[in-house]
Structure 1
Amino acid sequence: MQRVSLAGLGAIALIVTVPFAGQIPGVANVWHSGIAVAQNIKTQAQIQLRLEAEKQVLTKDQQGKQSQKWEALKGQVVVQPGDVLRYTLNAENKSDRPVKNLTLNQPIPKGMIYVLKSASVTDNAKITYSIDGGRNFVENPTIQVTLPNGKVETQPAPAKAYTNLRLQLPLVIAKSTVKATYQVQVR
């Protein structure tokens, strides 16, 4: 059985785009509840980002009823093909001013497949997806498929084609937190 080490899957880059001249001084190790800060020097608006990962654990009781729980991943963790991980991204506006038009781009880690329709976010954020490494984002990615009869048809992109997801937050109120979650499965 093949084993995949999360530490060996590469660093998960968290790219924050804000419409003002913000900067990210650094992104901490996400496997240790890392934190990144986006700050507008002029107005002192500040967003603190925290990315956490959990592994789905399925168990059966004595009657054979299956239940699910999520176990926090800490340090170097080994996962197996087929394991499902849930990422939680918290964006906290620590300032006393609202932040407008915040965009958060999250790549799907190498060796993982996005679990379709698993993304959710609090507030009125828009979720879009990329299948081309983050160059283009749409709500429902599609691909062109050539059928056996030679006809080309547009179909929904398969889960394995997803490379990134983007959260567009029109407004993050002062002293509030926006929470987004999504799931991936180990290849």
Structure 2
Amino acid sequence: MKRFSIAGLGAIALIAGATFSTKIPVVANIFENGVAIAQDAKKGQVQLQLEAEKKVVQNAQGKQKVAWQPLKGKVMVQPGDVLRYSVTGANNGDKAIKNLTINQPVPRGMVYVVNSTTVNANSGAEITYSINGGKTFVKNPTVQVKLANGDVETRPAPDTAYTHIRWNFGKSVAASSAVKGTYQMKVR
């Protein structure tokens, strides 16, 4: 049975693109305890934090209960384990930031759990996905499948095809506020 070690979740799994209204961000990445800071000289700074939890199913009085156990430091996961990642983007500046975009790749050895992505209410975020290494993003990825009779049919992309998740906060993220997105991954 294969086991995977996840060390320094922030350094391994957090790839965030902060796109500002000027489209020319000045970026300083600081990966320490799952935190990255992206700074735009005109708009202030956005602090990005990545946290992970492991899905634990407990049996209590004959009923299954799902709990999420925080992962800290160096941990071991096994094939079939489901992890929930939370990405928080805090605008620490004194002005709203327009066009904030957060991109998360699907880590090696993991598969995206389809329809597991969320974003905090009233954020106005658009959630899109890539199945081509982050080149293009769409709301509902599809693939062309050749059938036995030779016809080609368009179908929803399988979970193994997903390569990136993107949250685009198009309007703005107000000063001194935060946005949060979550998604789940399954260890292969």
Native 8 Å contact 1:24 1:36 kept in 2: no
Summarize deviations over 1:115-171 as a string: whole Å, max 9, x none: 111001121100000001101100000001011111111100001110001110021
C-alpha separation between the residues in 2 aligned to 1:144 and 1:108? 22
Residues in 2 aligned to 1:40 and 1:7: alpha-carbon distance in whole angstroms: 29
Secondary structure of the residue aligned to 1:105 is strand
2:48 aligned partner: 49
Question: Which ranges in structure 1 are unaligned for 5 or more consecutive residues?
Answer: none
**Residue 140 (1) aligns with residue 143 (2):** no
Q: What is the TM-score when the length of structure 2 is the normalising length?
A: 0.91
Residue type at the aligned position of 2:28: P
Point out where structure 2 has 5 or more consecutive residues left out of the alignment: none
* Cα distance between partner residues in 1 of 2:58 and 2:27: 41
Asked whether the 8 Å contact 1:129–1:138 carries over to 2, the reply is: yes
Q: Equivalent residue for 1:119?
A: 117
Structure 1 position 37, deviation (Å): 1.3
Separation (CA, whole Å) in 2 of partners of 1:184 and 1:75: 18
Q: How many residues align?
A: 182
Distance 1:136 1:153, change over 3 A: same
- Equivalence for 1:131: 131
Letter of the structure 2 residue corresponding to residue 114 of structure 1: Y
1:102 aligned onto 2:83: no
Distance 1:76 1:144, change over 3 A: same
Cα gap change, 1:101/1:147 in structure 2, threshold over 3 Å: closer, same or farther?
Answer: same
Q: Give the superposed CA RMSD.
A: 1.7
Q: How does 1:1-150 map to 2 (within 5 A)?
A: 1-7=1-7, 11-19=12-20, 20=22, 21-29=24-32, 32=33, 34-43=34-43, 45-61=44-60, 63-122=61-120, 123-150=123-150
Q: Which amino acid counterpart does residue 113 of structure 1 have in structure 2?
A: V
C-alpha displacement at 1:89, in angstroms? 0.4
CA distance in 2, matches of 1:73, 1:8: 10
Name the % identity: 51
Distance 2:77 2:49 in 1: 22
